[in-house]
A and B are shown apart, each in its own frame.
Chain A
Amino acid sequence: MQLIEMREAIRQAIDEEMTRDETVFIMGEEVAEYNGAYKVTKGLLDKYGAKRVIDTPISENGFAGIGIGAAMTGLRPIVEFMSFNFYFVAADQIISHACKMYYMSGGRFSVPIVFRGPNGAAAQVSCQHSHCVEAIYGNLPGLIIIAPSNAYNAKGLLKSAIRNNNPVIYLESELLYNDKMEIPTEEYLLPIGKANIVKEGSQLTICAHGRMVKLCLQAIEELESKGISCELIDLQTIKPLDVETIKESVEKTHFCVLVEEGHIFGGIAAELGFQIQEQCLDYLDAPVARVCQRETPMPYSKVLEKETLPTVERIVATCLQTLAIS
């Protein structure tokens, strides 16, 4: 076992896959000589050289498309966005080309590419660097969406993503990069499309992904101190969604709270909630509840930033309300 930060787990996944397969390369802003804006790609330039670790100009639509073209012609690119908020500039390439290509070409051209980088809020980076993008991607058939929550699943899922033959959106969180965890030293992969039951419990199901899993664990500690047993499901993959695992849990607990860092309207939680009512209506003893970002852009002030995002307090309060415990 090794005790490493999540950024190192991601780096190891890239490193191992680049060693394993010469068609894998990484490109993005500052990934090479600067060693990555968040140091995820540290040391890769020295190890693999400028042919496979490529600094790009600030041309997100351009280099996202170059990645897609490379993927269609025999390579397996990893494209880093310094922030997923910069993907909006590259939206055409991802939305109209990468995610539709295999279908549109009658199965002739697959697009094995990973788009990765930090998603959602960091620390006071304001409106244009804090948006959660998974709900936007979620509406696009043809994309795989992965949101790791810790070093272990970050590494295992990224390795699977790089080997997958489809475009993968791999959403990291700047606020998790420093989190340490003990993970295996030997190679492992985790399957795409499988949720993880982080903690078993009997009275309430909580579903979350990415950084929110960490908040939910803190909320659960508080709820357990009140004698409430919670089951926590980490989606790990948002699309394809492992609805079976959620369904089994809700059928057991009869109560469900969904926690999402992104906005409430049309969010991943909205989709989850709908699928739960479709599949588990007879088992539910209360409406499915949501804790999401409020309907505002991300304000700069830390007081306001905290208010718009889900917090441990809001999660605890929503769980208690759902269970009708005051």
Chain B
Amino acid sequence: MTQQEKPLDFYKVSHQTVVDALGNQTLIDCLDRMLLIRNLETRAEAAYQQGNIGGFFHSYMGQEAIQTSCLQAVGHNNWFATTYRCHALALLLGITPREIMAELFGKETGNAKGRGGSMHLYHDRLLGGFGIVGGQLPIATGAAFSCKYQNQKEQIALCFLGDGAVPQGTLHESLNMAALWHLPCMYVVENNQWSMGTHISRGVANHNYITYYLAKAYGISHYRLDGMDFFNCYGGFLVAYQEILATGKPVLIEAVGERFRGHSISDPGLYRSKDHLKERMERDPIVLFRNELFDRNILSEDEYKTMDKKAREIVVDALQYAEESAWPDVSTLEQDVFAP
């Protein structure tokens, strides 16, 4: 078991080791996925502004390295649950941009038949984007319970939550029972610094250390990762995942980053200075990742531009698909309230 020595240090990962382990093509594929997420969020935002998407819309922009690296490390054959900021995870699990965009548009071809919208996307292994802060925690813990109950030793549950969910009681209840019962669950706090407009320092006591000492308190491992650094995240997630497989016990991870957009699309972000955001955006996870691939001669600028263009085309196609898809037949309104 690897434990960091100082609570505020990021888990140490050698980038070279990650490059060697994943190989050039996989690294390019991961960057490609991050670009697709970024393009999808960008275009969907525009579609929202044009009135094609309603309700709430929470962009994952700025956090792409975290879930992309995590999925690369743990694979798809696990249970996943996340917050209402769920477009990226659905995409990474293989839900098509078309299906996601159609859901955002509220069309019948959407991922949840137009019933869930932006906050509620699903996949056979994705239990949902959850609209209640911290609501997904016990549910993901229940999925880990299922893995253990059914003796599926090769599977774990992954639960993503924001820093805003750290003060919720469900975190403590879930960590307690998962630690008590040895449930294979990876809890990933994506600390993007803001629970809506409240900085973590104003909402969480001892905020720099809270996840570290929570893990200590419940007797489980803790990893602190640089959420802007794909390599660091990948290395940390992989070790944490292997630890869960080996021990059957949960781990608590904090991936530290910054979201680049408002809490939701209607949030102008007045609580955060432009300088602060500009400074943080200098560590844009896509730019950092891309530049490192350039520096290592794994990717050329032209190839990158081609990838970005292709991602844009995929999303434009998804927008067109969503636009052309039919509205749900209103006669289906009362279907599926109950399962057969």
**Which A residues are CB-close (under 8 A) to B122?**
105-106, 108-109
State the main secondary structure of chain B at its contact with A. mixed
Q: Is A68 an interface residue (CB 8 A)?
A: yes
Of A95-103, A180-188, A211-219, A299-307, which binds chain B?
A95-103
Q: Is A57 an interface residue (CB 8 A)?
A: yes
Of B50-58, B142-150, B314-322, which binds chain A?
B142-150
Q: Is B111 an interface residue (CB 8 A)?
A: yes
On chain A, the number of residues with a Cβ less than 8 Å from chain B's Cβ atoms is: 41
Contact A96 B139 (CB under 8 A): no
Neighbour of A69 across the interface among B114, B120, B140, B340, CB < 8 A: B140
**Which B residues are CB-close (under 8 A) to A65?**
135, 137-139, 141-142, 170, 174
Q: Give the residue name and chain of the A residue nearest to B108 (CB).
A: A106
Within 8 A of A (CB), among B76-120: 79, 81, 110-116, 120
Q: Is A119 an interface residue (CB 8 A)?
A: no
Contact A69 B138 (CB under 8 A): yes
Within 8 A of B (CB), among A105-140: 105-112
Q: Give the residue name and chain of the A residue nearest to B79 (CB).
A: A73
B31 to chain A, nearest CB (A): 30
Residue among A56, A74, A106, A108 having the largest count of chain B Cβ atoms under 10 Å: A106
**Which B residues are CB-close (under 8 A) to A70?**
142-143, 145-146, 149
A57-B180, A61-B173, A106-B115 known; A66 vs B141 contact (CB < 8 Å) = yes
Q: Is A255 an interface residue (CB 8 A)?
A: no
Contact B174 A97 (CB under 8 A): no
Contact A69 B145 (CB under 8 A): yes
**Which A residues are CB-close (under 8 A) to B339?**
102, 107, 110-112, 165-166
Can you name 12 A-B residue pairings with CB atoms under 8 Å? A61-B138, A62-B169, A64-B138, A65-B139, A68-B142, A69-B143, A69-B145, A70-B146, A71-B142, A74-B150, A97-B132, A105-B120
CA distance A58 to B132 in the complex (A): 22
A69-B145, A96-B131 known; A107 vs B137 contact (CB < 8 Å) = no
**Which A residues are CB-close (under 8 A) to B144?**
69
Contact A67 B127 (CB under 8 A): no
Contact B142 A69 (CB under 8 A): yes
B182 to chain A, nearest CB (A): 12
Contact A96 B132 (CB under 8 A): yes
Within 8 A of B (CB), among A13-68: 25, 51, 56-57, 59, 61-68
By Cβ-Cβ distance, the 7 closest A-B pairs, closest first, are A69-B142, A65-B138, A62-B173, A110-B339, A106-B112, A69-B139, A106-B113
Q: Is B128 an interface residue (CB 8 A)?
A: yes
**Which B residues are CB-close (under 8 A) to A64?**
138
A187 to chain B, nearest CB (A): 23
Neighbour of A106 across the interface among B116, B140, B170, CB < 8 A: B116
Q: Is B295 an interface residue (CB 8 A)?
A: no
On chain B, the number of residues with a Cβ less than 8 Å from chain A's Cβ atoms is: 44
Q: Give the residue name and chain of the A residue nearest to B116 (CB).
A: A104
CA distance A106 to B112 in the complex (A): 4
Q: Which of B's residues lie within 8 Å of A, judged by CB?
A: 79, 81, 110-116, 120, 122, 124, 127-128, 130-132, 135, 137-147, 149-150, 157, 169-170, 173-174, 176-177, 180, 336-340
B35 to chain A, nearest CB (A): 28
Contact B142 A66 (CB under 8 A): yes
CA distance A112 to B340 in the complex (A): 11
A72 to chain B, nearest CB (A): 6
**Which A residues are CB-close (under 8 A) to B180?**
57
B43 to chain A, nearest CB (A): 23
Other than A51-B149, A69-B157, A109-B128, give 11 A-B pairs with Cβ distance below 8 A. Answer: A62-B169, A63-B177, A65-B142, A67-B142, A69-B141, A70-B143, A72-B127, A72-B139, A106-B114, A106-B115, A142-B338
CA distance A109 to B122 in the complex (A): 9
Contact B131 A69 (CB under 8 A): no
Q: Give the residue name and chain of the B residue nearest to A70 (CB).
A: B142
**Which B residues are CB-close (under 8 A) to A68?**
138-139, 142
Q: Is A237 an interface residue (CB 8 A)?
A: no
**Which A residues are CB-close (under 8 A) to B142?**
65-73
CA distance A97 to B143 in the complex (A): 14
Within 8 A of B (CB), among A250-293: none
**Which A residues are CB-close (under 8 A) to B79?**
69, 73
Q: CB-defined interface of A164-187 with B at 8 Å, one 1/0 digit per residue?
A: 011000000000000000000000
Contact B170 A25 (CB under 8 A): no
Contact B128 A61 (CB under 8 A): no
B334 to chain A, nearest CB (A): 9
A72-B127, A92-B132, A166-B339 known; A62 vs B138 contact (CB < 8 Å) = yes
Q: Is A297 an interface residue (CB 8 A)?
A: no
**Which A residues are CB-close (under 8 A) to B145?**
66, 69-70, 75
CA distance A159 to B180 in the complex (A): 31
Contact A74 B177 (CB under 8 A): no
Contact B141 A62 (CB under 8 A): yes
Contact A166 B338 (CB under 8 A): yes
Q: Give the residue name and chain of the A residue nearest to B178 (CB).
A: A66
**Which B residues are CB-close (under 8 A) to A144?**
338
A102-B337, A107-B336, A142-B338 known; A56 vs B177 contact (CB < 8 Å) = yes
